[in-house]
Amino acid sequence: MRIFARLVHSAARGLPMLLLLTVLSACQAPVKQVDTRSQVYRAETAAAQGQYRDAAQIYMELAARDAGTQADHWRLLAAREWLNDDNLVAAVAALESIAGPMDRDDYALWTILGARVALTRGKPAEALQTLEESPLPSATLAAQFYRIKGMALLGLGRVEQAILAFGEEQTWANNAQELLASQQLLLDQLQARARKGALPDSSLDPVAQGWLDLARLSSVASTDSPALLAGLRNWRLANPQHPAVTGVVAALIERHRGANSYPIQVALLLPLSGRERAYGEAVRDGFLAAYLNSPNKNLLPLVRIYDTQLQSSVATYREAIREGADMVVGPLLKQNVTELIGVANGEVPILALNRGNVGGYTPPAFYQFALDPAEEAREIARGALADGYTRAIALVPSTGWGQRILESFTSELVDNGGQLLASTAYDPGEQDYSSAITRALNLDQSKERFSRLSDLLGMYPEFEPRRREDADFVFIAAYPEQGRLLRPQLKFHYAAKLPVYATSAIYQADAMANNDLDGLQFADMPWQLSMTKETGGLRQKVASAFPGLEENQPRLLAMGVDAFRLLPWLYNQQTNLQLAGATGLLGMTADGVIYRKLQWARFRSGEPRISKPKVLYPAPGVTGRP
């Protein structure tokens, strides 16, 4: 039986075994030091930048070069990085290849990684048993030990004990950054339980009670900065000695400090009649849903709603100013935004819900917030590059939308060191995309070569065409109907092993129909993918209060939610925007353009499963967009 299996299932013999292993390890021959330091530096740098797969591969190269205890040490570090990369299979394989013996720290790390494997497999009781039956780690690994113990206890619903375990982790923090990261993780976990109603009502321990109160407060008001700031001030008065006061609470106050008030009167400019009525109504309903969901009604502004289809957007804007608006939200249509840019002079802040066609110039206090498919295509390119793929083929519809998506994707890919090997357009009105796929994969050329050779030789043996081998991944721009056809047809044409990426347009909730998309990765807004603090429970409330409303233009509904949440930030001219919104993690460029970082997901059994954020670290000399 392998040592890893023994560790997980019968670690009670830990300390005697450890002492024996320590003695044995002292007898090992000195390890060669050829180039080791530079390799370790490369691995540590890659891990620090979130490139866990690269770090793991470097450690495995070191393990292949060394032997005995030192090789096992590298395998342990590789397993750690595989787990950080969410690659459970590779992590377990690395752990099970360890033959021993190990020194004290390696044995402790092995125990911790075994517990992480159990947690990843959804077995918190097994994780906790693994930790409790092993000797306590040295100071080097104590923080990791207690963090995993805290997560296991949370998985078992033992919240107060979990808070104590995280407190132990924080005592071993090496610096303020590590302390804050631990407190933020604990708060995130408690907030998630608060939204599910799974927190204890109270605790006799004042520190635990403080965490419970903080989790409830921040989960309700996490996206309403003025209400959150008021609640945090009261919490701090009630818990002056709590360890979170100088940590995560101070960070929350600093992050939201500038967005401390709403305007007095807001004008909402939207198309509420004519062909675009449904779009305007979806944004309006999202805005009002967020307004009514705000926990502190005394702070809220008066909202007046204007139909931009009844007169020009400029006339509507001027009417709103005459009637006392000290902030304007809208208009929604690109043409109307362009018109308003020409007359806005900074007298009141304006949050336009699209981007104008005026190149370069932006008036003072004029902010532009759009659900831009081209921006999503750029994020897909960065995500694929972050995964280590650089050579793409693209399949896009033969429409203006498809061409714009392709141009943005290609530009971002090339700017960051990638290469578009081929792109083909398909007719979205058809159901058979074989022609476009075979051209993109060079299958047509393979068939032509076989035909010419067969004619030359006068022989016609059985033949299976071969696709091109230089492509790393496939990018497709498609709506759900086309995507559900493209994915299986790619598999049929010998591209089953090529990773496939797409924009959010491909996703529509339907697990049965989406089975054909399994394995495909895409990026979308939190409102569509998860019930997290970004949606604040609002999506469920909208669905229950207004049946059918959430299904009509859900992304524009989410845009309306975020337009309301942006009010205190923009009214107070807070340009250091960092807001976890319904449409994504929101930030702002120097010229007032609000951009979104989306959530990543992969289809499994027809359902989108949330993935870790993808972070692209540009190669030296390569500068990408934010």
**pLDDT value at residue 135:** 84
DSSP symbols for 275-292: TTHHHHHHHHHHHHHHHH
Closest CA to 539 of 217, 195, 249, 120: 195
| Domain extent listing, the chain | 3-138, 197-256, 374-528+602-610
Amino acid at 43: A
Strand partners, 69: none
CA angle 117, 122, 124 (to 5 degrees): 80
Which is nearest to 426 in space by CA: 350, 360, 483?
483
Looking at every residue in the chain, the average pLDDT score rounds to 87
Classified by CATH at the fold level, domain 3-138 comes out as 1.25.40
Rounded Cα distance between 317 and 345, Å, is 12
Distance, CA of 284 to CA of 553 (rounded, Å): 12
pLDDT at residue 612 in the model: 84
CA angle 89, 90, 95 (to 5 degrees): 100
Strands in 302-307's sheet, in edge-to-edge order, are 302-307, 265-270, 327-329, 350-352, 366-369, 593-597, 585-588, 579-580
pLDDT of residue 623: 36
Contact 84, 116 (CB under 8 A): no
Per mean pLDDT, which of 97-106, 192-201, 393-402, 607-616 is the most reliable? Answer: 393-402
Q: What are phi and psi of 514, to 5 degrees?
A: -80, 0
Which residues have CB under 8 Å from 414's CB, separation 6+?
A: 420
pLDDT at 552 (0 to 100):
73
Give 612's DSSP letter. Answer: P
Q: Tell me how far apart the alpha carbons of residues 600 and 380 are, in angstroms, rounded to a whole number.
A: 9
pLDDT band at 509 (very low <50, low <70, confident <90, very high): confident
Look at residue 535 in the predicted model and tell me its pLDDT: 64
Segment 618-624 shows an average pLDDT of: 39
Predicted confidence at residue 576, as pLDDT, reads 87
- What does the alpha-carbon distance between residue 530 and residue 509 come to, in Å, rounded to a whole number? 12
Alpha helix ranges (H) inside 133-276: 139-155, 159-171, 176-195, 206-221, 225-238, 248-256
Q: How confident is the model at residue 38 (pLDDT cuts 50, 70, 90)?
A: very high
Percent of the chain at pLDDT above 90? 69
Q: Which fold has domain 374-528+602-610?
A: Rossmann fold (3.40.50)
Q: Quick check: 500 pLDDT over 90?
A: yes
- Predicted confidence band at 320 (pLDDT cuts at 50, 70, 90)? very high
Amino acid present at 400: G
Q: Which residues contact 617 (CB under 8 A, 6 or more apart)?
A: 49, 50, 51, 386
> Looking at per-residue confidence, does 497 or 622 come out higher?
497
Number of alpha carbons in the 13 Å side-chain half-sphere of residue 356: 26
User: Helix, strand, or coil here: 340?
Assistant: helix
Q: What confidence category does residue 7 fall into, taking pLDDT thresholds of 50, 70 and 90?
A: very low
Count the Cβ atoms, other than its own, within 10 Å of residue 542: 23
Write the CA distances from 338 to 38, 352, 353, integer angstroms.
54, 10, 11
Percent helix, strand, coil in the chain (nearest 5)?
55, 10, 35
Q: Could you give the CA distance from residue 577 to residue 315 in angstroms, rounded to a whole number?
A: 30
- Cis preceding-peptide flag for 101 (omega within 30 of 0): yes
Helix axes 206-221, 176-195, angle to 10 degrees: 70
**Rounded-to-integer distance, Cα 334 and Cα 327, Å:** 19
Q: What is the mean pLDDT of residues 217-234?
A: 88
Confidence label for 197 from pLDDT (cuts 50, 70 and 90): confident
At 358 the pLDDT is: 72
Residues 6+ apart with CB under 8 A from 236: 245, 249
Residue 532 has pLDDT above 60, yes or no: no
pLDDT digits (tens, 9 = 90+) for 290-306: 998 887 788 899 999 99
Amino acid at 181: A
* Separation in Å, CA 163 to CA 97, 123, 150, 244: 35, 19, 7, 12
Topology match between the domains 3-138 and 374-528+602-610: no
Residue 617, phi then psi, degrees to nearest 5: -105, 110
Give yes or no for residue 461 having a pLDDT over 70: no
Write out 171-187 in H/E/C secondary structure.
Answer: HCCCCHHHHHHHHHHHH
